[in-house]
Amino acid sequence: MLKSTHKPIGGSQQLAEGWTEHKAPTGHLYYYNAATKQSTYTRPAAPVDAPTPIAPIGPSQSFLQYQSVGPGFPQGEDRGSRGGFQGNRGGRPGNDRPRPQPTDRPKSRHLIPGFEPWVLVHTKLGRRFVFHTEKQQSYWRIPDKLKDGILQLDQQRIKEKTEALQKTNEPVSTGEAPGAAERPEVHNPDGDDSSEYEEVEVTDDEDDENPTKRQKTFEIPDEPIEYNEDDIAFQLATMGEEYGLDPGEYDDGNMENWEEGAAGLELTEEDAVALFRDLLNDAAINPFSPWEKLVEEGKLVDDTRYTALTSMKARKETWDEWSREKMKAMRYMRAKEEKKDPRIPYLSFLQQNANPKLYWPEFRRKFKKEAVMRDTSMTDKDREKYYREHIKRLALPSSTLKTDLLALLKDQPLSKLNRSSNMDSLPPAVLGDIRFISMDPSTRDGYVEAFITTLNPAPEIVEAEDSEEIIRMKKEKERRQKALNDREAFVREEKRKQQRDLQHGKGVLRYQELELERAMQVNKKGLKGQLVGEGADVMDTG
Amino acid sequence: MPAIRHASKRKPPPAGFSDIEDDLLIFSNKMKDAENAPSTNVPRHQVHWPIFQISHQRSRYVYELYYEKEAISKQLYDYLLKNGYADAMLIAKWKKTGYEKLCCLRCVQTKETNFNSTCVCRVPKAQLKEDQAVECVSCGCRGCASSD
Ligand SMILES: [Zn+2]
Ligand SMILES: [Zn+2]
């Protein structure tokens, strides 16, 4: 993906929006615009007079920027230890382009009384920024000097809204916008007026479709009068939570807010690792799978234990360790089981080499050097017995063999044979049974696999001999889980508080804005009705 | 392209194959998708990038299972190489100092490049200009020097 991780630092050399810098094989630098798929050797510089083009950007867009600090984006320490492909999974332009975002656009603007070239712009998504019409500059953050003017504007608007609300209670017949005569601003409530959009356009053409991924470097203003960085941060947090990310992964600037409570709980780093391991165990993840698959599937993300570890790097490390141990344990178990029962290797040898044309003495002579034929834990007499029986069974009809095989499988307890079993983890009781080798493996394996899918998942491990250790581990696991749940509850509460504060701050105003919009809609309709009426008059006279 | 499932006629794969069979199948399917993906709207030099990348990922997968995690047997590892589940040549490079992360063989073949040197993606990040974006033409690699 041609997504540059280069972030504009500011200054006159900044690239125009949507463009990324790349190096051609010849060594030349060239520039690519992922949105328009254009490329050029001439550097598309951003207009110098707009050094901080704070274009209206959907909060979700900036979220994607932070999200990209995920597995394998070549950003410092987040880069894994693997080869060079980490950064460009998908490869083609367009493959992992962010999903379509609701694009925000200016909806209305109001001259700020007393600061005339400045305009307050409201966007479709309910945010606002200020715009200097002469300098063609815009800012999310409202400069302090304008605050008085905006406060005045807001008060005025609230007053108008109240009036408008009162008017809408009367029959809408006049079509006259309430207070329109005195209002110093242009108000366009339905937001689809493209000519006005042009006017408030922030910088040049690219900018409105490809707004800057803006760094959040502002201090957060106290005034409750604006929809600003606070709100964006909040939206980021909400979306981050939906994606199962931790605060640290989408918003560094806001960390202190979380740190106080969210980190002040008894969830140690070890706990976090252990929780993630619990999750891997419980989700019955195949330790042989590649880590990338886990990430791509995103199955684990919904589990709160996924976020116990705060970075992708930590998750990958834990995964590496866990899968290593798990695979080792699996191999050890299998080796042990096979060692225990000498029949298993012998029967599998029979399956490959037994031949109805060979009598036992001939067979024994032919393979006398094989390890399975010399294994002292099995007598020759037993070997002969199995050989004869196996040869005899080979003559049976395949339907009988299938029935026998299924009977053998059904005999296995669920703890030994269950849905997570596979051909390499069949219980020794199956592998060491003559019924298992009677059918050709290619046919047999199909039956076994089909049978496994009909089974239930493995039952909970019942405490056995070393039950004390197991009980201790269980208790430990419960404690971890509880600590995590406590933290989650805390975070949720924090979030609720944040939301409440936000709504308290701007709620009244926003509500009234909506009311006003409704009022204006109605009035516009009324106006339209009148215009149509006039048109009809003209027709009549003409 | 290796066969996805071992044909029933052939010798069964070594033990442990079924542990990784599903994931190998996923790689194979991805590879198929990449091979069949429409190449319109894709710059010509980029057409094969996804194929290189999947091939790299799959080789890396096999390599790590055997060399780093010691999770599969020598027998199975050899079987995988023989049946094209991993690129033996590329893995051979990874075992050499300085090539631990090499993206593809093309990027170290000097003859194929325009200026008789290895690909730009082999240049350590430390030697590049600050923020200089690297994306090699042959496979889309963004840098695979060992020091990165
Ligand atoms: Zn490379
Ligand atoms: Zn390459």
DSSP A349-373: HHHHH--TTS-HHHHHHHTTTSHHH
The mean pLDDT of A194-223, rounded to a whole number, is: 40
Q: Which of A55-59, A485-489, B39-43 has the lowest mean pLDDT?
A: A55-59
Please identify among residues 42-71 of chain B the ones whose CB lies closer than 8 Å to any CB of chain A: 42, 46, 49-50, 53, 56-57, 60-61, 65, 69-71
Q: Is pLDDT at A68 greater than 50 in this prediction?
A: no
Q: Which ligand is nearest to the CA of B139?
A: 2
The pLDDT-based confidence of A98 (bands split at 50, 70, 90) is very low
Q: How much is the pLDDT for B114?
A: 58
Q: Which of A36-50, A183-197, A418-432, B66-80 has the lowest mean pLDDT?
A: A183-197
The mean pLDDT of A395-401, rounded to a whole number, is: 93
Please identify among residues 435-464 of chain A the ones whose CB lies closer than 8 Å to any CB of chain B: 440-443
What tokens appear for A315 in the block? 């998750």
Q: Is pLDDT at A318 greater than 80 in this prediction?
A: yes
Q: Which of A124-133, A356-365, B11-20, B29-38 has the lowest mean pLDDT?
A: A124-133
Dist. CA B97 → ligand 2 center (Å): 17
The pLDDT-based confidence of A462 (bands split at 50, 70, 90) is low
Contact call for residues B137 and B45 (beta carbons, < 8 A): yes
Q: Is pLDDT at B77 greater than 90 in this prediction?
A: yes
The pLDDT-based confidence of A21 (bands split at 50, 70, 90) is confident
Residue B136's closest chain A neighbor by CA? A25
The pLDDT-based confidence of A540 (bands split at 50, 70, 90) is very low
Contact call for residues A20 and B135 (beta carbons, < 8 A): no
The mean pLDDT of A310-333, rounded to a whole number, is: 91
Q: How much is the pLDDT for A526?
A: 59
Q: Which of A158-172, A264-278, B7-21 has the lowest mean pLDDT?
A: A158-172
Strands (E) located in A133-233: 137-139
pTM, entire model: 0.47
Residue A320's closest chain B neighbor by CA? B69
What tokens appear for A55 in the block? 């274009």
Contact call for residues A102 and A96 (beta carbons, < 8 A): no
Instruction: At A183, give phi and psi (nearest 5°).
Output: -70, 130
Out of A4, A20, A92, whose CB is closest to B50? Answer: A92
Out of A25, A79, A289, whose CB is closest to B137? Answer: A25
Substitution target from B135, B147, B148 for chain A, most A beta carbons within 10 A: B135
Contact call for residues A211 and A204 (beta carbons, < 8 A): no
Strands A118-123 and A128-132: antiparallel
Nearest-angstrom CA–CA distance, A365 and B80: 34
- Is the CB of residue B22 less than 8 Å away from at least one CB of chain A? yes
Strands (E) located in A178-260: none
What tokens appear for A410 in the block? 């059904």
Q: Which ligand is nearest to the CA of B112?
A: 2
State the nearest Cα–Cα gap between A26 and chain B, in angstroms: 7
Contact between B19 and A74 using a beta-carbon 8 Å cutoff = no
The mean pLDDT of A488-501, rounded to a whole number, is: 85
Give, in degrees to the nearest 5, the angle at Cα A255 between A253 and A260.
150
The pLDDT-based confidence of A317 (bands split at 50, 70, 90) is very high
Q: How much is the pLDDT for A287?
A: 92
Length reported for chain B: 148
Which of A310, A254, A305 is CA-nearest to residue A283? Answer: A305
ipTM: 0.81
Q: Which of A81-90, A361-370, A449-458, B100-109 has the lowest mean pLDDT?
A: A81-90
The mean pLDDT of A159-178, rounded to a whole number, is: 55
Q: How much is the pLDDT for A258?
A: 44
Out of A82, A293, A320, whose CB is closest to B60? Answer: A82
Q: Which of A38-42, A123-127, A285-289, A392-396 has the lowest mean pLDDT?
A: A123-127
- Residues of chain A in contact with residue B141, where contact means CB-CB under 8 angstroms, are 83-85, 88
State the nearest Cα–Cα gap between B82 and chain A, in angstroms: 20
Q: In whole numbers, what is the pLDDT of chain B averaged over residues?
A: 85
Q: Is pLDDT at A407 greater than 90 in this prediction?
A: yes
Q: How much is the pLDDT for A32?
A: 75
Dist. CA A6 → ligand 1 center (Å): 19
Out of A22, A83, A289, whose CB is closest to B133? Answer: A22
Dist. CA B42 → ligand 1 center (Å): 20
Q: How much is the pLDDT for A130?
A: 73
Out of A83, A92, A323, whose CB is closest to B103? Answer: A83
Q: In whole numbers, what is the pLDDT of chain A averaged over residues?
A: 68
Q: Is pLDDT at A12 greater than 50 in this prediction?
A: no
Position with higher pLDDT, A85 vs A360: A360
Dist. CA B144 → ligand 2 center (Å): 8
Please identify among residues 67-126 of chain B the ones whose CB lies closer than 8 Å to any CB of chain A: 69-71, 101-103, 113-114, 120-121
Position with higher pLDDT, A378 vs A178: A378
Position with higher pLDDT, A363 vs A506: A363
Contact call for residues A129 and A139 (beta carbons, < 8 A): yes
Q: Is pLDDT at A506 greater than 80 in this prediction?
A: no
How many contacts (CB atoms, under 8 Å) link A and B?
Answer: 121
Instruction: At A88, give phi and psi (nearest 5°).
Output: -135, 50
Position with higher pLDDT, B140 vs A64: B140
Q: Is pLDDT at A36 greater than 50 in this prediction?
A: yes
Q: Which ligand is nearest to the CA of B102?
A: 1
The pLDDT-based confidence of B64 (bands split at 50, 70, 90) is very high
Burial of A126 (0-12, 13-18, 19+ CB in 10 A): middle
Q: How much is the pLDDT for A389?
A: 94
- Is the CB of residue A145 less than 8 Å away from at least one CB of chain B? no
Q: Is pLDDT at A274 greater than 70 in this prediction?
A: yes
Sign of CA dihedral A223, A228, A232, A238: positive
Dist. CA A312 → ligand 1 center (Å): 23
Position with higher pLDDT, A363 vs A65: A363
Q: Is pLDDT at A383 greater than 60 in this prediction?
A: yes
State the nearest Cα–Cα gap between A228 and chain B, in angstroms: 30
Position with higher pLDDT, A217 vs A375: A375
Give, in degrees to the nearest 5, the angle at Cα B33 between A71 and A20.
50
pLDDT digits (tens, 9 = 90+) for A119-151: 777 766 666 777 777 776 667 667 777 777 777
User: Which range is most confident: A322-331, A370-379, A520-529?
Assistant: A322-331
Q: Is pLDDT at A85 greater than 90 in this prediction?
A: no
Contact between A83 and B37 using a beta-carbon 8 Å cutoff = no
Position with higher pLDDT, A252 vs A486: A486
- Is the CB of residue A91 less than 8 Å away from at least one CB of chain B? yes
Q: Which ligand is nearest to the CA of B120?
A: 1
Q: Which ligand is nearest to the CA of A74?
A: 1
- Which residues have their alpha-adjacent CB atom under 5 A from ion ligand 2? B 103-104, 107, 138-139, 141
Dist. CA B103 → ligand 2 center (Å): 4
State the nearest Cα–Cα gap between A215 and chain B, in angstroms: 17
Helices and strands counted in chain B (H then E):
4, 0
